[in-house]
């Protein structure tokens, strides 16, 4: 018992000594200027440093990518506008009337952003100008831009590997020039120079191996995407030209009457369809071919694989290339997908399957509504087979391509509202009732309150669309009063959402719908925006650019709570 009391007393004395020493150390720190700088650094400056690291991280990298995209589209659009303005317009007919500068710039932006919104009749343009529009649509397509992204990523990985190898070479040179270590010293301190250096080198070597694998995977994926891009354009243009030359006399007569070369039409249409633009070198778009089911069925798969079904096609091609070549990087790409390459369009197998099922479901609903409500309406005058093909063609094009075999304004309002919904949805919208697992780890701790505050200022996509519609209603308020049958809210909503979705559907404008007929009014094959004021056209240009880069703001608006 006495021994226990002695141990307890000793423990109490020891605790008192420790607390006294800790208190003395704290007081000395507080009284020292250096300690104040230490406290200031860790208490005051550390949160600021974390904020700077966060702002210099993912948020600003994403902002930098957005600015690069904006600069790219503006530069391409401006160059296209200059070329369109310098080249000679088509002679004869309506081609003698030179379009205004705002309309030419609008057309260049529409082609570069693959929106196909129209303020100028397409048959005004000569073959040289059609070639310029073809190039604009090609370089503005999502698949081509993703190729540029893969090339940039491969270049960055190659530079990282080069820097890592240079560090290893410098280390080996320094190791050769290092004086020999005394054996006794090395025995006394076995973890000194040599083992520390080995530890430092082993990490870069492992990291370099992973980086090399990523570099090879990105390069292989680049060639797979390039092969898809070239194959679709070569086979698509060849199939359309062969069909027109050998199987469709009506299409040949139509192109001959419009003085359009068959190969110009085939190449232009293929590029426009695969890039999800929707421009056609004819004034009437595909309405002039509304009974040519063969041409429509040739364009449907191009529109699908260039937009909503590109990920399933890419995943199948990657797996096929991995099985055919047995290359390690392709096998890893097929297994890990976006986790390894960071390629946005490379989705997991289950997600690809559900995406294809979702696309089929949306198409089924639209075709059923079109056939059920317009069988004796907008589709009248066609055979049953032609009606079904036209309904399928319209349903496919409502998801971002925008080619049309019918006058959209003649459709029932319920179908127009459904089309607005389809145009609003992103291309990879998927019904996915499973828990999606991703190997890409998020780092929420990197986002400080400041970054979250900056993100919370962004609105949702629907909010921006509402703002754009309100702005157009303000700029066109006089026409909304004077010409309400043409300038109505539904027509404006369709035009704005179509520009946002980069689709190209339009209600158009008809002189016959004017309440106070204007004898000078002439019907033209242009979109509804062709009758807007210059201010309204500028707003629609902003909508097209915003819609083309909406992937940078899809997750915005989460700070708003509706309940």
pLDDT in tens, 527-556: 999 999 999 999 999 999 999 988 887 777
- pLDDT score for 562: 67
Of the chain, the percentage scoring pLDDT greater than 90 comes to 61
- pLDDT score for 160: 85
Q: Which range (37-46, 111-120, 525-534) has the least confidence?
A: 37-46
- pLDDT score for 45: 54
- pLDDT tens track for 355-380: 999 999 999 999 999 999 999 999 99
Dist CA 139 CA 123 (whole Å): 22
Radius of gyration of the chain (CA): 32
Show the DSSP H helices in 55-192 as ranges: 60-86, 101-112, 127-140, 142-177, 183-188
- Quick check: 275 and 138 in contact, CB under 8 A? yes
- Quick check: 250 and 112 in contact, CB under 8 A? no
Residue scoring higher pLDDT (75 or 3): 75
Give the confidence band of 25 by pLDDT, cuts at 50, 70, 90. low
- pLDDT score for 449: 59
Q: How far is CA 33 from the centre of its chain?
A: 54
Q: How far is CA 152 from the centre of its chain?
A: 16
For residue 304 the two structure tokens come to 């699908």
User: Other CB atoms closer than 10 Å to residue 304's CB: what's the count?
Assistant: 21
φ/ψ (deg, to 5) at 338: -65, -30
- pLDDT score for 119: 92
φ/ψ (deg, to 5) at 307: -140, -95
- Quick check: 371 and 412 in contact, CB under 8 A? no
- Quick check: 347 and 355 in contact, CB under 8 A? yes
- Quick check: 84 and 129 in contact, CB under 8 A? yes
* Residue in the structure block whose two tokens are 């096998």: 331
- pLDDT score for 561: 67
- pLDDT score for 253: 95
- pLDDT score for 558: 67
- pLDDT score for 436: 62
73-82 exposure pattern, b = at least 16 Cβ within 10 A, e = fewer? beebbebbbe
Residue scoring higher pLDDT (43 or 101): 101
Q: What's 519's DSSP letter?
A: T
Question: Per-residue pLDDT for 60 more than 80?
Answer: no
Q: Which range (175-179, 263-267, 319-323, 486-490) has the least confidence?
A: 175-179
Dist CA 7 CA 10 (whole Å): 5
What lies within 8 Å, CB to CB, of 307 at 6+ separation is 142, 276, 399, 400, 401, 427
- pLDDT score for 31: 46
Instruction: Summarize the confidence of residues 87-107 as an average pLDDT.
Output: 79
- pLDDT score for 443: 45
Q: What's 309's DSSP letter?
A: T
Helical axes 46-54 vs 449-456, angle rounded to 10°: 40
Of the chain, the percentage scoring pLDDT greater than 70 comes to 75
- pLDDT score for 366: 96
HEC letters along 258-272: CCCCHHHHHHHHHHH
- pLDDT tens track for 416-433: 999 999 999 999 999 888
- pLDDT score for 129: 95
Instruction: Summarize the confidence of residues 507-511 as an average pLDDT.
Output: 92
- pLDDT score for 552: 81
Q: Which range (147-161, 206-220, 246-260) has the least confidence?
A: 206-220
For residue 433 the two structure tokens come to 């009732």
Dist CA 289 CA 381 (whole Å): 14
Question: Per-residue pLDDT for 485 more than 60?
Answer: yes
- pLDDT score for 159: 87
- pLDDT score for 442: 45
Instruction: Summarize the confidence of residues 176-204 as an average pLDDT.
Output: 41
Give the confidence band of 520 by pLDDT, cuts at 50, 70, 90. confident
Question: Per-residue pLDDT for 22 more than 60?
Answer: no
What are the helix and strand counts (H, E) for the chain?
Answer: 23, 0
DSSP-derived 3-state class of residue 153: helix
Dist CA 316 CA 220 (whole Å): 14
Question: Per-residue pLDDT for 63 more than 80?
Answer: no
Give the confidence band of 460 by pLDDT, cuts at 50, 70, 90. confident
Give the confidence band of 19 by pLDDT, cuts at 50, 70, 90. low
Residue scoring higher pLDDT (549 or 57): 549
- Quick check: 109 and 541 in contact, CB under 8 A? yes
- pLDDT score for 311: 95
Supply the mean pLDDT for the chain.
82
Q: Which range (14-23, 240-249, 479-488, 502-511) has the least confidence?
A: 14-23
């Amino acid at each position: 018992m006495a021994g226990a009391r002695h141990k307890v007393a000793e423990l109490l004395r020891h605790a008192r000594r420790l607390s006294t020493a800790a208190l003395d150390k704290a007081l000395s720190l507080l009284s020292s200027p250096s300690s104040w700088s230490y406290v200031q650094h860790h208490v005051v400056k550390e949160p600021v440093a974390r904020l700077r690291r966060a702002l210099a991280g993912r948020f600003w990298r994403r902002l930098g990518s957005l600015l690069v995209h904006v600069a790219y589209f503006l530069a391409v659009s401006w160059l296209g506008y200059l070329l369109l303005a310098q080249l000679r317009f088509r002679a004869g007919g309506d081609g003698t009337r030179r379009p205004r500068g705002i309309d030419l710039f609008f057309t260049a932006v529409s082609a570069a952003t693959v929106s196909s919104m129209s303020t100028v009749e397409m048959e005004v343009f000569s073959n040289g100008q059609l070639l310029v529009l073809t190039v604009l649509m090609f370089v503005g397509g999502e698949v081509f831009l993703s190729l540029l992204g893969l090339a940039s990523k491969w270049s960055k990985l190659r530079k990282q590997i080069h820097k890592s190898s240079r560090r290893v070479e410098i280390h080996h040179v320094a190791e050769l020039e290092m004086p020999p270590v005394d054996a006794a010293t090395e025995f006394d301190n076995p973890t000194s120079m040599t083992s520390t250096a080995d530890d430092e080198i082993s990490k870069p070597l492992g990291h370099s191996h992973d980086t090399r694998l990523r570099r090879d995977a990105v390069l292989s994926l680049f060639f797979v995407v390039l092969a898809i891009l070239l194959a679709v354009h070569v086979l698509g243009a060849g199939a359309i030209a062969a069909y027109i030359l050998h199987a469709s006399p009506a299409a040949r007569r139509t192109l001959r009457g419009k003085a359009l070369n068959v190969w110009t039409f085939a190449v232009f249409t293929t590029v426009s369809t695969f890039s999800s633009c929707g421009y056609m070198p004819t004034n009437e778009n595909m309405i002039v071919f509304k009974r040519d089911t063969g041409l429509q069925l040739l364009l449907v798969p191009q529109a699908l694989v260039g937009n909503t079904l590109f990920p399933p096609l890419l995943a199948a091609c990657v797996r096929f290339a991995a099985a055919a070549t047995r290359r390690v990087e392709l096998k890893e790409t097929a297994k890990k997908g976006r986790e390894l390459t960071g390629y946005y369009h490379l989705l997991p197998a289950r997600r690809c399957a559900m995406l294809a099922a979702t696309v089929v479901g949306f198409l089924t609903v639209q075709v059923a509504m079109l056939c059920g409500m317009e069988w004796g309406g907008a589709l009248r005058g066609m055979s049953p087979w032609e009606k079904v093909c036209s309904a399928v063609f319209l349903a496919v094009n409502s998801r971002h391509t925008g080619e049309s075999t019918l006058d959209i304004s003649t459709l029932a309002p319920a179908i127009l509202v459904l089309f607005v919904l389809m145009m609003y949805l992103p291309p990879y919208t998927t019904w996915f009732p499973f828990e999606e697992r991703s190997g890409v780890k998020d780092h929420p701790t990197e986002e400080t309150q400041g970054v979250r505050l900056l993100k919370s200022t962004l609105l949702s996509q629907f909010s921006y669309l509402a703002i754009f519609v309100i702005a157009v209603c303000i700029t066109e308020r006089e026409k909304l009063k004077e010409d309400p049958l043409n300038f109505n809210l539904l027509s404006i909503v369709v035009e704005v959402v179509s520009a946002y979705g980069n689709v190209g559907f339009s209600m158009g404008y008809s002189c016959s719908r004017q309440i106070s007929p204007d004898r000078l009014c002439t019907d033209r094959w242009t979109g509804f925006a062709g009758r807007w004021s210059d201010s309204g056209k500028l707003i629609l240009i902003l909508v097209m650019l915003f819609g083309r880069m909406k992937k940078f703001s899809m997750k915005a608006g989460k700070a708003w709570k509706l309940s």
